[in-house]
Each structure stands twice: as C-alpha cells, then as structure tokens.
Chains A and B, each alone.
Chain A
Amino acid sequence: MSGFDWQFFLEVLIGGLLSGVMYSLVAIGFVLIYKTSGVLNFAQGAMLLFAALTFVSLVERGVPFALALIITFAVMVAIGIAIERVVLRPLTNRPPMTLFMATLGLSYVLEGAAQLLWGTQVHGLNLGIDDVPFEVGGIFISQFDFFAAAVAAALVLSLSIFFRYARVGLAFRAVADDQFAALAVGLRLPRIWATVWAVAGLVALVAGLLWGARLGVQFSLSLVVLKALPVLVLGGFDSVPGAIVGGLIIGASEKLAEVYIGEYFGGGIESWFAYVVALAFLLIRPSGIFGQKLVERV
C-alpha cells in the first residue's frame, strides 16, 4: 500500500460525503411525508422542480431575491394544501399502492404544470456562492458543496427542534407513531397532513434551489429523486437522521467505487452501485439503518 495516494482518497471521500448531503436533502422530503401518512411521495422531485422553476422565473422577471423566496414558499404551501385536499383526502384508507400511484400521477401533473406556466427553457441560478474550490492540506473542497452541507445541517436541526418542541411537530410525531391513537385523542389528521405537505414543500424549495444552482434549473431536476431512493432504502423511509446517514454512506461509497473499481466494470458504475449498496443493507436490515421495525400479527 506504499504507493497508495491517501490525499486523493480523502479528496474523493470528502467530495462523496458532500454529494451525499445533497442526496439527503431530497430524501428528507420523502421521509416527512412517509413518516406522517405512510405515503411514498414520488412527486417530491417534481415539487423540487416546480419550486426551483417558480423561484428562478420570478427572479428573472425582476422580483427581488427575498420576495421571490417568500412567494415561492407561499406557492409551495398552497400546492401542499391543494394536494392534501384534492388528491390524498379522497383516497384516505386506500391501500398504500393506490396512494403511491396517485403521487406518481401527481409528479407528471406538476412537471407539466411547471413547464406550462414557466416555459421549457433552461435557466442558470446563482445563489451568490462561488463554485470554486478551497484548499485544506492539499485537498480541494468545493465551497458550494460545503455551503449546501451547512444548509442541510441547519434544515435537519430546525426540523429536529420543530418535531421535538413545537405543538404541531409533536402532533406530527403522534400521527407518525399511531394514526388511530392520534385520532382518538382528537388530533385532526387532515390539518396535520396539509401542514406536513407544506413543510415538504419548504424542503423541496431548499433542495430545489441548491440542486438548481448545481445543475441549472431544468427538467432533469425532477430526476434527482433517483438519487434519493437508495438513500431511503439504506437509511429507512421514516427517519430524518437515517436520510442523513444514508446519504453520506451512499455519496461516499458510490464515488469511491467509481474511482477505484469503476475501470474494472467499464466505468460509469456509480448510478447502479448506489443501489447495490442499498440492496446489501436491505438484506441485513430490511427496514434500513434507522427505519422502524414493523412487527405484525399474522
């Protein structure tokens, strides 16, 4: 191992971890919805696209940055509430697969609506963070990715505080633990679901802006859900810490695999390698690292 380039290894590892945080950002949106309503919201990517496209289109029309952020957030909250009213409420008590299919359809509706409203053009998005590297001990670290990781950490911290101390947050946890018990003590499920969809809209906005600044605001933003799926499998569908840890593991392992073993498979392995890692974990822990173990009476 004397010839092994540890500095390069560390650089790949750190880059992978920072990329993983970006995956976690998307995964958190899934977790929020799944945790409280048991729905795997496939429309999270489309929500992300809708948020980013709305924001950038407003800014390009001369709306100040902060105001555009507020308007977009309001739009996402409105969409969240509308989804609960129009799509989910009529499907209450339907099998999970029905709800999943509904969100799949919803993703197409949102993608189409985003393009109909704001057009099909590709937009650049500058958040004012230079995307140039800084050097630490000979290792290049992306300023932007570092910023994104800090934002993700702040988001997770805020959500944790919200879930632990806020009244609505506690209601979320109660619903997540046992919907029937929550109903029995007088919690109003539709209102809680509407709120959680609105919070998922906020997460979509944050993730949309960061991914939009990274990729450009364009249709393929909705494809970033594909990066979140192995993270969810690995971390658990109902755990915010799981989404973070899962993102870090997936990000680091896929980058290291691409660099060090990619050439033995013809290159370009990182997209499927993430799923290999997730499946391997699935065999050992079917509910993911932090996912709730389900015990069912049969």
Chain B
Amino acid sequence: MRIFNKLKRAAVAASLVLSVAVPAAHADEQYFPLQSYRVGPYAAGGTGFFGGFIDYLNLINTRDGGVNGVKLTWSEGETQYEVERGVEVYERLKNNPGVAAWNPLSVGIAYAMIDRITQDKVPLVTINHGRTDSTDGRVFPYVFPLLLNPYSETSGIVNYIASKEGGLDSLKGKKIAVLYHGSPYGKETIPIYELLAKKYGFELQQIEVPHPGNEQQAQWLTIRRAKPDYVVLRGWGVMNPVALKSAAKVGFPVDHIVGNVWSNSEEDAIPAGDAAKGYTAITTQASGAEYPVVKEIIKTLYDNGKGNLEDKSRIGSVYHNLGIVNGILNVEAIRIAQEKFGKRTLTGDEVRWGFEHLQLDPARVEALGAKDLFHSINVTWDNHEGNGYVTFQQWDGKKWNVVSDWIAPDWALLRPIIEKSAEAYAKEKGIKLRTSEDQVTATN
C-alpha cells in the first residue's frame, strides 16, 4: 500500500512535470512557476525548501483566501538541480499568465536565467545565494539575492568568530582556515576572506575540496599541520558531513568549525553522527516548529492532510523554514505592490517594484508570526539583498539550537566592492546604470 501510495505520488509529480497547462488565467490569481528538484542528488534540500514555500502559499490561500483576495497558484517543473533542465522549465512555464517571480534555489540555474528574466521583466529571487553583485539594483533590476549574499555571509562569519574571541581586535594573529567547495560557488568568497584577513590581521589559509567532496583526508591533514584556531566550512552536499567526519579523524575540535549557509542543515549534520555534535553554522532563519507561522501551517495544513512534506518530522527543519521565509518575502512583496498598483493580478515588473520596497521591520515580522524565525529585511531599489541579519546555531546531535544574537554583517565595508563588480558587469554588457527615478516604472 505504501509503495502504491508512493507510485501514486510519483505519478502526480510526473503529471505536474509534464503538464504545460496551469490553471486558466483568472484576473484574481498570481502564479509561481517552481523549478523544483524532488529527485536526484539534492532532492533532500529541494523537497524541504519547495515544501516550505508551497506550505506558506497554501496557508495564505486557505487562511486568508489569497493576498487581498488574489489567489496564489503554482506548478512545478522538475530540474534535478540541472541547469539545462531549469532553463527548459523556465521556457515551458514563463508564458503562463500572472507570473509573480522565479525562485529556483540554484546558483547555476539562476545565472542562466538572468538575461532571460531581465528581458521578460520578472523578478528572480535567489534567497541566501546567487551572484553577490546582483545586490546592486542599479545594474540588476530584476535579481534579488534576498537576506544574505555570499559577501555578507563571509562578514557575518568573521564577526561571529570575533565575538567568540572578544571582539574584532582579538582576531589579530589568529589563524583561520577556509575549506571551500571546488566550484564557482565555493570560490566566490575567496577575495572577501583575503580582504577581511588584511583588515583584521588574522592569518588565512584557503583550501579547496574538489567536487563532490567525498574525500578530504589530504585537506584535513594539511589543516591539522597548520593548526588553525577556526575552520570555516563553505561546503555543499556530501562535502559537509565528510568534512565533519574527517575533522574528527584528525582530532580537530568540531566546536571550532563554523559552517556557511549551505552547510547548515540537518542533512549536513545527521550523516556525520557524533562527529557533528557541537558544530556551529550560520543561518538567516532559525529552525524549529515553535514559531507562530510554523504552528499555523501545522494546524491549518498538516492537521488536515494538506501539508507538502511527506515526512512530518521535517517540519521546522532548516530547509523547510527557509522555504517558509521565502514564501513570506514573496507574498509580502506582492502585498506591498498591490498597495500601489491595485488588488489584482500584478505584472512581473509590478512585483519587482514590490520587492524593491520590501521593508519588514521586526514589528512587521512579529505580526506575520515570524518573530525570531528571521530578523528583518530592508530592500531598496539599489540594495536588493535587504541587509538581512544572521544568527548562529549549534548541532546537539539531534537538532539545531540558536547560540548567538542576530548579527549584522559589515555592509558598509562590502558595498563599494559589490558596486565595483556590478559596474564592471554593466560595462561588459553595455547596461546603463539605473537611478532612483527608474524604479517607479512598471511597464509590462
């Protein structure tokens, strides 16, 4: 029976993948095309994130009847985290009416979509990832690396280590090793760690782990010989548990390893077993099911058999909560845009305007039932990250526990570097820099 149910679910998923026709366009519907990945190597993250995202959209429909009466709709296209499939799904779903925004949760797919979404004038949300310089809304009007770009993450981690050592001045003379995934994602923060090492006077060693990262003996022996005070783990997928296990093998203390935002999930810690106990990682959203919005999702959806996660024990996990927060940000952008353009189906460019005014202070976050789930966001026309705060969580062998206050990255330090990179991109592509006057034009 169980297998039958799984086959049935697979058939439903397949029909979703194959279906080109989404619900017919109604004037009161806003549509989310989802380039999800529920099978393949990264399915664990994909099911959690897209499960949380869909749960929140479903909550808004069930509880509120949509956003000011505008129903939210969505359909999924399976990408298996592969760029070409992601682009194919984009081309297949983009003509559906009322597209609000794209949320691929994949650096590769996001990169491949930038020119397309810019031409189509629909926002591309890359929460916690994506190109750092897409933070600069002067050059990337439709790309939103919400809450945290890689440079801010780097600064947040260094600030956290400093707080453990007694302040930024205490970093002088310390040794930090960065173990990074051998991919463009892994390498993106190399210059920022170098910059911060120079600024704060710590000794830096950056060590690459070749993809996929299932062998790290050599890297960890090198680390043991170098005897750093901290190791920053900038990993992905199988690289993370292997790093924690390899650290244990060479006797490096796990509580001196700090994981980045893609090394911070249950899927990263559980396979490492006891070797992960005491491991700390950065996050923009806390895990756990005790937040009012998560409780409401459980009560409204899961208690009525409408939840998206197959395994209820994953409710409140890191990826599930990231999906919920992503849902909040998308829905609030629509709500804000509706205040200006009317309570109806919005165009992609109108939703872009909504994202560029997505300002949720802690009071508004609390009103949304997300107090302590995430801190706040303050997106503007030229700052598409929105100055998200970070916190740090520690793995106790079974779950993550928050162990720090909300920490602000050093945005002032990072902004000129981001602008320089974005301007170089604009020059290469022949893009005219936007001004604050350009933000008000919603044309499509």
Contact assessment for B249 and A140 in the assembled complex, using a CB-CB cutoff below 8 Å: yes
- B218: contacting residue among A121, A126, A219, A258, CB under 8 A: A258
Q: Which one of A10-18, A30-38, A183-191 contacts B?
A: A10-18
Contacts of A48 in B (CB 8 A): none
**Interface mask (A130-148 → B, CB under 8 Å = 1, otherwise 0):** 0111000000101011000
Contact assessment for B272 and A124 in the assembled complex, using a CB-CB cutoff below 8 Å: yes
Instruction: Tell yes or no: B214 within 8 A of A by CB.
Output: yes
Instruction: Tell yes or no: A292 within 8 A of B by CB.
Output: no
Instruction: Tell yes or no: A268 within 8 A of B by CB.
Output: yes
Q: Which one of B41-49, B383-391, B435-443 contacts A?
A: B41-49
Instruction: Tell yes or no: B87 within 8 A of A by CB.
Output: no
Contact assessment for A132 and B248 in the assembled complex, using a CB-CB cutoff below 8 Å: yes
**Chain A residue with Cβ nearest B270:** A124
**Chain A residue with Cβ nearest B273:** A124
Contact assessment for A117 and B242 in the assembled complex, using a CB-CB cutoff below 8 Å: no
Contacts of A140 in B (CB 8 A): 224, 249-251
Contacts of B221 in A (CB 8 A): 8, 11-12, 15, 255, 259
Instruction: Tell yes or no: B310 within 8 A of A by CB.
Output: yes
Contact assessment for B3 and A117 in the assembled complex, using a CB-CB cutoff below 8 Å: yes
Instruction: Tell yes or no: B163 within 8 A of A by CB.
Output: no
Contact assessment for B270 and A214 in the assembled complex, using a CB-CB cutoff below 8 Å: no
**Interface mask (B203-237 → A, CB under 8 Å = 1, otherwise 0):** 00011111110110111011011000000000001
Q: How many of A's residues come within 8 Å of B, CB to CB? A: 48
Closest CB-CB distance, A18 to chain B, in whole Å? 8
Instruction: Tell yes or no: B424 within 8 A of A by CB.
Output: no
Contact assessment for A131 and B245 in the assembled complex, using a CB-CB cutoff below 8 Å: yes
Closest CB-CB distance, A277 to chain B, in whole Å? 15
Instruction: Tell yes or no: B7 within 8 A of A by CB.
Output: yes
**Interface mask (A30-67 → B, CB under 8 Å = 1, otherwise 0):** 00000000000000000000000000000000000000
Closest CB-CB distance, B355 to chain A, in whole Å? 31
Contacts of B311 in A (CB 8 A): 119, 121
State which residues 93-126 of A face B: CB under 8 Å. Answer: 112, 115-117, 119-126
Contact assessment for B218 and A218 in the assembled complex, using a CB-CB cutoff below 8 Å: no
Q: Complex formed: what's the CA distance from A268 to B211 in Å?
A: 9
Instruction: Tell yes or no: A262 within 8 A of B by CB.
Output: yes
**Chain B contact residues, majority secondary structure:** helix
Instruction: Tell yes or no: B413 within 8 A of A by CB.
Output: no
Instruction: Tell yes or no: B292 within 8 A of A by CB.
Output: no
Contacts of B6 in A (CB 8 A): 116-117
**Chain A residue with Cβ nearest B183:** A268
Q: Which one of A150-158, A198-206, A220-228, A239-247 contacts B?
A: A220-228
Closest CB-CB distance, B212 to chain A, in whole Å? 5
Instruction: Tell yes or no: B65 within 8 A of A by CB.
Output: no
Closest CB-CB distance, B430 to chain A, in whole Å? 32
Closest CB-CB distance, A278 to chain B, in whole Å? 16
Contact assessment for B250 and A270 in the assembled complex, using a CB-CB cutoff below 8 Å: no
Contacts of B222 in A (CB 8 A): 259
Contact assessment for B211 and A216 in the assembled complex, using a CB-CB cutoff below 8 Å: no
Contacts of A70 in B (CB 8 A): none
**Chain A residue with Cβ nearest B42:** A219
Contact assessment for A215 and B238 in the assembled complex, using a CB-CB cutoff below 8 Å: yes
Q: Complex formed: what's the CA distance from A132 to B193 in Å?
A: 31
**Chain B residue with Cβ nearest A143:** B249
Closest CB-CB distance, A163 to chain B, in whole Å? 30
Instruction: Tell yes or no: B403 within 8 A of A by CB.
Output: no
Q: A119-B310, A131-B245, A140-B249 are in contact. Are A270 and B43 (CB under 8 A)?
A: no
**Chain A residue with Cβ nearest B181:** A268
Q: Complex formed: what's the CA distance from A123 to B275 in Å?
A: 14
Which residue of B43, B182, B218, B248 has the most chain A CB atoms within 10 A of its CB atom? B218
Instruction: Tell yes or no: A19 within 8 A of B by CB.
Output: yes
Contact assessment for A216 and B44 in the assembled complex, using a CB-CB cutoff below 8 Å: no
Q: Complex formed: what's the CA distance from A140 to B275 in Å?
A: 17
Closest CB-CB distance, A214 to chain B, in whole Å? 7
- B182: contacting residue among A11, A116, A268, CB under 8 A: A268
Q: Complex formed: what's the CA distance from A267 to B213 in Å?
A: 13
Closest CB-CB distance, B402 to chain A, in whole Å? 22
**Interface mask (B188-207 → A, CB under 8 Å = 1, otherwise 0):** 00000000000000000011
Residues of A within 8 A of B (CB): 5, 8, 11-12, 15-16, 19, 112, 115-117, 119-126, 131-133, 140, 142, 144-145, 214-220, 223-224, 227, 254-255, 258-259, 262, 266-272
Residues of B within 8 A of A (CB): 3, 6-7, 10, 38-44, 46-47, 182, 206-212, 214-215, 217-219, 221-222, 224-225, 237-238, 241-242, 245, 248-251, 267, 270-273, 275, 310-311, 314
Can you give 22 A-B contacts (C-beta < 8 A)?
A16-B218, A19-B215, A115-B39, A117-B3, A120-B39, A121-B267, A122-B270, A124-B272, A124-B273, A126-B273, A132-B249, A142-B249, A145-B249, A216-B272, A219-B42, A219-B43, A220-B212, A223-B214, A259-B218, A259-B222, A268-B182, A268-B208
Q: Sorted from nearest, which 10 A-B pairs have the closest CB atoms?
A: A216-B271, A268-B208, A120-B43, A258-B218, A267-B208, A271-B210, A220-B238, A268-B182, A219-B41, A122-B267
Other 7 A-B pairs with CB < 8 A, given A116-B6, A218-B237, A271-B182: A12-B221, A121-B267, A133-B250, A215-B242, A218-B44, A254-B215, A268-B210
